Structure 1
Amino acid sequence: MENLTPDQNKLLLSHPCIAAASPENRKAIAQSAYIKVLNKGQYLQHRGGDAIGYYGIFSGKIKVSAMSSTGKALTLKYLQAGDWFGEISLLDGIARTHDCEATQVCQVIIIPKLAFETHIMNDLDALKAITRQLCQRVRTAMNLAEQATIQPLPERLANRLLELQNASKEGLNINQQDIAHMLGVSRQSVSKLLLQWAELGWIKLEYHQVSLLKPDKLKSICMSSPVPQG
């Protein structure tokens, strides 16, 4: 547990929810927040655990996963620097829904549960900002549900690669099994499409990495209109 540096404090105060809070609440949040360092393979939280705080990634990457009925971890998404998460369990009081594991050394800003409840949930403007964030998450989830229901696999895979590329600052360091887990399909199905696109020169496949050489080609596959984001 470490105090925030000036750069970390800047990231904290730039969050829309915290920026919307009153000056007194912003100051109290900044004073209560701290940094937790995770080594590769270390868990920030486990499914079923109690909510201890609201999280913001200052550096590194975290894998969000769930356990299948066979006891195998299924990768759902990756979170990286600038991403904030963990508000749902703080708002509804129900246990954490997913496992969060560091895939590299991470620095995570933590706003303790008590500070979140006192200075965010009791601040109307901050609470409105959190509500808008939750609405965006619902829209994203509905968009993914729509894709899984009506879009063919090539379109879903192209969409997911483009989304991951847009969110990543370091390229797509991800294996084909994880991509398959995200789409709810077999690794063989994903591998077949990726190999086809690699042969066409649209992407480049390396060990645990996918590089998008011609993203416009992938965009041309994505014919469905996404759920509006606004």
Structure 2
Amino acid sequence: MTTNGVQDRQVRGRWISAGSAERNLGLLRPGELAQLRMLGTVRHASAGTVAAAAGSQVTEIQIVGTGELELRARLDQGRATMAVVRTGGVIADIPLLLNAPMPFDAIASRDTELIALSRGRWTELLRSSPDLALRWMTSIARRLDDDRRRLVVVTSKPLVSQVAYLLLDLAEDGPAGDQVVRLSHTTIAHLLGARRQSVTRVVGQLKGHGLVDSRYGYTVIRDPGGLREVMGSEPLP
């Protein structure tokens, strides 16, 4: 399939670990989440609730037990979504290590269960489990590596390839056994540093080629192989 007529202008995006819980932020396994519920403080955040505010002092990490958070940066033109964190994902670990304030607003995009661990409890946990400490280090390294890869995508590929890359990266299992991306076109545009109208046009063109099916608030992936063709080569080896 050709992508002539589908390509849009290249846009420099603002990517901060947009690849979410599947590989990068979802470092905790179901059994470990159950144990952490006993060790930490369990909180429930309704959709739209701010779980952590940008600029606030970080005294604990928060783990997504179930649900989803969006990390949103405060920009001059308003908030922009920078990352999505799902079940097993964690926020605030890097700021806590750096003694830095929370860089983003963490907002529940679905009803979400959070498990909070204080600095002392988290440090004690890592000391007691070398396997978990190693996986945590690997998680941070993967987040940084994904930042680098996505920076290459948004600075070297046309918008259609960026959208294909993002849809493949953030897909999750849908109720019918298919792959879906439960993000609005506005959120996709934020993640790519693009205009919503441009993203909507590209998704419509991908739909016209039978690669996706766009619904209100989410996108169904119909042809992953076709999307990979549109995406082109991987950004880095």
Check whether the contact 2:33–2:65 (CA below 8 A) recurs between aligned residues. Answer: no
Check whether the contact 1:51–1:113 (CA below 8 A) recurs between aligned residues. Answer: no
Matches of 1:159 and 1:223, distance apart in 2: 9
Where do residues 129-148 of structure 1 align in structure 2 (5 Å cutoff)?
129-148=135-154
Where do residues 1-230 of structure 1 align in structure 2 (5 Å cutoff)?
11=30, 13=32, 32-70=39-77, 72-120=78-126, 127-165=133-171, 167=172, 171-228=180-237
Deviation at 1:10, TM superposition (A): 7.0
Deviation at 1:199, TM superposition (A): 1.8
Identity of aligned residues (%): 18
Deviation at 1:135, TM superposition (A): 1.1
Matches of 1:32 and 1:208, distance apart in 2: 36
What is the total number of aligned residue pairs between the two structures? 206
Check whether the contact 1:151–1:224 (CA below 8 A) recurs between aligned residues. Answer: no
Check whether the contact 2:57–2:101 (CA below 8 A) recurs between aligned residues. Answer: yes
Matches of 1:39 and 1:137, distance apart in 2: 26
Check whether the contact 2:29–2:88 (CA below 8 A) recurs between aligned residues. Answer: no
Which structure carries more relative contact order (alpha carbon 8 Å, separation 6+)?
2
Which secondary structure state, in structure 2, belongs to the residue aligned with residue 54 of structure 1? strand
CA RMSD of aligned residues (A): 2.5
Matches of 1:175 and 1:31, distance apart in 2: 35
Structure 2 residue ranges without an equivalent (≥5): 1-27
Larger radius of gyration: 1
Which secondary structure state, in structure 1, belongs to the residue aligned with residue 183 of structure 2? coil
Deviation at 1:169, TM superposition (A): 5.3
Q: Which residue of 2 aligns with 1:4?
A: none
Structure 1 residue ranges without an equivalent (≥5): 1-8, 16-26
Which secondary structure state, in structure 2, belongs to the residue aligned with residue 97 of structure 1? coil
Check whether the contact 1:139–1:227 (CA below 8 A) recurs between aligned residues. Answer: no
Which secondary structure state, in structure 2, belongs to the residue aligned with residue 74 of structure 1? strand
Which secondary structure state, in structure 1, belongs to the residue aligned with residue 143 of structure 2? helix
Deviation at 1:102, TM superposition (A): 0.8
Amino acid at match of 2:214: L
Gap change, CA 1:119 and 1:208, over 3 Å in 2: closer
- 1:95-120 Cα deviation digits (max 9, x unpaired): 01111111121111121122123443
Q: Normalising by the residue count of structure 2, what TM-score does the alignment of the two structures yield?
A: 0.77
Gap change, CA 1:168 and 1:10, over 3 Å in 2: closer
User: Which is helix-richer, 1 or 2?
Assistant: 1
